């Protein structure tokens, strides 16, 4: 059951730098600005251009458009299967109605951004994606890109920061770890915390609904109950590391995950990255 819950968190091994993140951000904003200018000039005639190969598709970036009621009018990417469908209540892999959030923000503010989890057709995985959008008349145009993946250095630093937070105030730290939009979620990195006394999740920055559930019976792709090994590695010391195999049940592929562990009293906090 736990492995099914974790499917949305299984990401690819490609590691991108903060500079690459900024570059994608700029490219997405630039393509959106270009689409908005084109739509203002051509009105709905521009929708056809957004849905075909050409100047409004740049690598993994593409434009999609919705009307004010939530009907998809155009798309140059994977959301093309949703054209002519009302997606106002459509939810991503985490159950987030991100189209509704997008439309409500566009109506209130005229533009904004939204984060969600979406299937990346390039590698067949569900990954974190951010989209910038802008309201033009009664249409909303958007361009999104897949977020970069955390590096080993980021993971280690985040584990240190999490351990320091637990030392200062465990309750506040656990609440902060569980905040999907908080300071303990970086790219695809998040913090989890497990009690050494009962083997239950105190916090889980990827899936907060796992808090309070038992972690000891969780198995990796090789059938190994790796949480037991994880806790054993820091039972008598303050730091440790562990690697385990994790299967993406969407693609059937197995990835190695390397996790940095920090023990703070009777709690183990961990941050892992995909190799």
Q: For residue range 135-182, what is the model confidence (pLDDT) as tens digits?
A: 999 999 999 998 777 789 989 999 999 999 999 999 999 999 998 778
Residue 190: helix, strand or coil by DSSP? coil
Orientation angle between helical segments 170-177 and 152-168, nearest 10 degrees: 140
Q: What DSSP string runs through 4-36?
A: HHTGGG---S----HHHHHHHHHHHHHHHHHHH
The CATH architecture that domain 150-274 belongs to is 2-Layer Sandwich (3.30)
Specify the fold of 17-146. Answer: Beta-Lactamase (3.30.450)
pLDDT value, residue 163: 97
Q: List beta partners, residue 257.
A: 244, 274
For 111, residues 6+ apart whose C-beta sits below 8 A from its C-beta are: 132, 133, 134, 135
Domain ranges of the chain: 17-146, 150-274
| pTM over the 0.85 mark | no
Instruction: Flag the least confident range among 22-31, 201-210, 228-237.
Output: 22-31
Q: What is the mean pLDDT of residues 42-46?
A: 97
On the question of a common fold for 17-146 and 150-274, the answer reads: yes
Q: Are 193 and 212 in contact (CB under 8 A)?
A: no
* No. of helices (H) and no. of strands (E), the chain: 7, 11
């Amino acid at each position: 059951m736990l492995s099914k819950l974790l499917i949305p968190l299984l990401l690819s091994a490609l590691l991108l730098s903060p500079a690459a993140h900024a570059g994608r951000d700029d490219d997405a904003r630039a393509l959106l600005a270009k689409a908005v200018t084109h739509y203002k000039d051509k009105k709905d005639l521009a929708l056809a251009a957004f849905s075909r190969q050409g100047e409004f598709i740049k690598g993994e970036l593409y434009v999609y458009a919705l009307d004010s009621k939530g009907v998809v009018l155009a798309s140059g990417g994977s959301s093309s299967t949703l054209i002519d469908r009302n997606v106002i209540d459509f939810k991503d892999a985490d159950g987030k109605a991100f189209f509704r959030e997008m439309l409500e923000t566009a109506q209130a503010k005229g533009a904004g951004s939204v984060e969600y989890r979406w299937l990346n057709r390039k590698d067949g995985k569900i990954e974190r994606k951010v989209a910038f959008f802008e309201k033009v008349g009664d249409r909303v145009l958007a361009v999104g890109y897949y977020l970069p993946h955390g590096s080993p250095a980021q993971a280690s630093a985040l584990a240190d920061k999490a351990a320091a937070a637990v030392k200062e105030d465990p309750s506040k730290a656990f609440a902060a770890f569980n905040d999907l939009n908080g300071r303990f979620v970086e790219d695809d990195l998040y913090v989890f915390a497990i009690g050494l006394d009962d083997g239950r999740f105190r916090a889980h920055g990827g899936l907060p609904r796992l808090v309070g559930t038992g972690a000891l019976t969780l198995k990796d792709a090789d059938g190994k109950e790796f949480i037991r090994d994880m806790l054993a590695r820091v039972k008598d010391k303050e730091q440790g590391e562990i690697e385990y195999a994790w299967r993406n049940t969407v693609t059937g592929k197995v990835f190695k995950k390397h996790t940095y562990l920090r023990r703070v009293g009777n709690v183990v906090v961990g941050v892992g990255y995909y190799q």
